Every structure is written in structure tokens, then in C-alpha cells.
Amino acid sequence: MLSKFLQIVALTACLTPAWSKPTSELSFIRQPSTVSIVGPGTVLSVHILDLPFIKPRYMVKYKTDRGELIEVSTAGNDVFVLEGMHGILTYSTHPEKILSFRVVEQEFTK
């Protein structure tokens, strides 16, 4: 009985709001540490990883015109690339996400 009481007291002490102060400022804005621009190239596939308790993550496979294969994982519902799109992909490696995708005209050589 005493151990249950001590656990409840410890939990209540951890949840005390007196240790924090309300603010509307953003104290830490997470910026990408490395940004890569790749392309032009073609989106090969877009797959969704939808697990409980986390935001959906999209796995995008992208192949540059030079033959490099890149796989980017990006979170959220704002994925704006479709399989077969041709363009220039900009992504960050920390946090890993697609920053932009710019569609470009694909020139076919004969």
C-alpha cells in the first residue's frame, strides 16, 4: 500500500505545471542539416507506410537521368509526387523529408 502511495506521489510531482512557464515563442526551430538537390530524374515508385500511433510515411524511389537511385522517406500527408513524374527533387537528410519537387520538361533523344 505504501509503495502505491509513493508511486502516485511521484507521478503527481512529475506532472506539476509549476516547473514550466507558458510561452508563445518557438524556442527551437529544427532546420535541415543537409540539403541535397538531385535531378532531373523520374519517380519510380511511391509507397505508404501507415502504422498505428505514427504519421503516415511515404517511401519515394527516384532515379536520376544519370542512373543514380535515391530512396527518400518523408512524413505527413503532403506528398506531391506520383509515379512517372519527371523533375528535380530537393530533400533534406536530417530530418529526412522531401522539401520540394519541381516538374521539368523531359526531352527525349532520338
Prediction pTM value: 0.61
Rg of the Cα atoms in the chain: 22
Band (pLDDT 50/70/90 cuts) for residue 108 is low
Each residue's pLDDT tens digit, 43-100:
999 998 888 888 888 889 999 988 999 898 888 777 788 898 899 988 888 888 888 8
Domain 35-103, what fold?
OB fold (Dihydrolipoamide Acetyltransferase, E2P) (2.40.50)
Domain segments of the chain as ranges: 35-103
Task: Name residues whose C-beta falls within 8 Å of residue 94's C-beta, 6 or more positions apart in sequence.
Answer: 32, 33, 34
